[in-house]
């Protein structure tokens, strides 16, 4: 730990204000590197804080959120499987959380209320927007869980023309379409998916938004890529470990520009840090912390 930062944290304990408290709640959370990324950026910002990684079962989620409130945490991250369930225990939602129907970030506002936000979709959009604007894109999203809902929401809000959802459970895809469709200009539709998929040349952006392949280098779907002779083709995976997934390898071989899950993870974290602290995070430091975590 940097000596200046260590001294700052000691002074906070002895003279106040106390260090800000943050956490990540989910089940499982072993292998989730958010704590290492957040602690690295807090240190680089000289912002005295502590970040905990907490295993919270579904049965204990309500108690965990009450504990976060009672202990005065400044903010928290929420990961699977709680991103939807947690909504009922919060004091309010941002537009991104409301439209996506999922929360991955909790912010304590100036009045002391705990507001749910969704920085997943915002972080994903940033990782794509760094390459090219999403406005007018024809998008295919594989999955209909919390991450997919957030991504679909942000892509629609930023002007994607068409968004097709491929998911094993068509009812989940239909729920997204029915709730989000009337509130955005994008055309939303679903297609059947059984783990095997042919990706047509009409798609400009293909998003693998499930947990398939997470911590499993051999994991993946059976995907056939039709040739695309003109226009942009970007393939993005939300899985961050391994960084280079089988999905991305196949997309790269098909000539697509690939975006790994670290981009979304870093940018959504940077947005959360800004909302929690009012300060800009160093994305390079955050990504380096993640890359170092995966070598442990």
- Are residue 73 and residue 90 in the same domain, yes or no? yes
- Are residue 210 and residue 155 in the same domain, yes or no? yes
* Per-residue pLDDT tens digits for 213-244: 988 999 999 999 999 989 999 999 999 989 99
Give the active site residue among 69, 83, 113, 279. Answer: 83
Q: Which of 30, 83, 23 is nearest to 58 (CA)?
A: 83
- Are residue 273 and residue 223 in the same domain, yes or no? no
Q: Reply yes or no on whether 83 is catalytic.
A: yes
- Are residue 155 and residue 238 in the same domain, yes or no? yes
In this prediction, what percent of the chain has a pLDDT beyond 90?
A: 93
Confidence at residue 291, expressed as pLDDT on a 0 to 100 scale: 92
CATH number of the CATH domain containing 175: 3.40.50.720
- Are residue 64 and residue 150 in the same domain, yes or no? no
pLDDT band at 296 (very low <50, low <70, confident <90, very high): confident
Confidence at residue 126, expressed as pLDDT on a 0 to 100 scale: 97
- Are residue 126 and residue 226 in the same domain, yes or no? yes
Residues 6+ apart with CB under 8 A from 269: 34, 37, 38, 41, 119, 123, 281, 286
**Residue 132 to residue 147: CA distance in whole angstroms:** 21
- Are residue 278 and residue 251 in the same domain, yes or no? no
Strands of 20-26's sheet, edge to edge? 49-55, 20-26, 75-78, 105-108, 114-117, 92-93
- Are residue 132 and residue 96 in the same domain, yes or no? no
Domain with 247 in it: 121-259
**Mean pLDDT of all residues belonging to the chain:** 95
DSSP 8-state assignment for residue 168? S
Confidence at residue 231, expressed as pLDDT on a 0 to 100 scale: 92
pLDDT band at 272 (very low <50, low <70, confident <90, very high): very high
In this prediction, what percent of the chain has a pLDDT beyond 70?
A: 100
Count of structural domains within the chain: 2
Confidence at residue 68, expressed as pLDDT on a 0 to 100 scale: 98
Q: Is the pLDDT of residue 1 over 80?
A: no
- Are residue 132 and residue 147 in the same domain, yes or no? yes
- Are residue 100 and residue 132 in the same domain, yes or no? no
* Per-residue pLDDT tens digits for 120-171: 999 999 999 999 999 999 999 999 988 899 999 999 999 999 999 999 999 9
């Amino acid at each position: 730990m940097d000596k200046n930062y260590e001294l700052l944290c000691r002074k906070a304990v002895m003279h106040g204000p106390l260090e800000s408290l943050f956490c990540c709640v989910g089940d499982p959370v072993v292998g989730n590197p958010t704590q290492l990324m957040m602690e690295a950026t807090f240190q680089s910002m000289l912002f005295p804080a502590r970040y905990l990684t907490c295993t919270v079962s579904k049965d204990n989620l309500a108690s965990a959120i009450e504990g976060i409130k009672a202990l005065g945490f400044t903010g928290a991250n929420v990961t699977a499987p709680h991103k939807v369930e947690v909504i009922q225990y919060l004091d309010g939602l941002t537009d991104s959380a409301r439209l996506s129907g999922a929360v991955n970030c909790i912010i304590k506002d100036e009045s002391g209320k705990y507001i749910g936000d969704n920085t997943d979709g915002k972080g994903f959009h940033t990782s794509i927007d760094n390459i090219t604007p999403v406005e007018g894109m024809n998008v295919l999203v594989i999955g209909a869980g919390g991450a997919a809902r957030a991504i679909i929401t942000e892509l629609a809000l930023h002007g994607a023309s068409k968004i097709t959802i491929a998911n094993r459970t068509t009812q989940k895809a239909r729920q997204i379409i029915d709730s989000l469709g009337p509130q955005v200009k994008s055309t939303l539709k679903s297609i059947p998916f059984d783990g095997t998929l042919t990706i047509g040349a009409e798609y400009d952006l293909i998003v693998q938004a499930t947990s398939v392949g997470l911590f499993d280098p051999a994991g993946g779907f059976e995907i056939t890529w039709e040739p695309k002779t003109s226009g942009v083709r970007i393939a993005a995976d939300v899985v961050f470990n391994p960084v280079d997934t089988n999905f991305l390898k196949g997309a790269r071989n098909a000539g697509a520009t690939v975006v790994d899950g670290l981009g979304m993870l870093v940018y959504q974290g940077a947005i959360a840090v800004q909302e929690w602290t009012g300060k800009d995070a160093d994305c390079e430091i955050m990504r380096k912390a993640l890359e170092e975590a995966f070598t442990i």
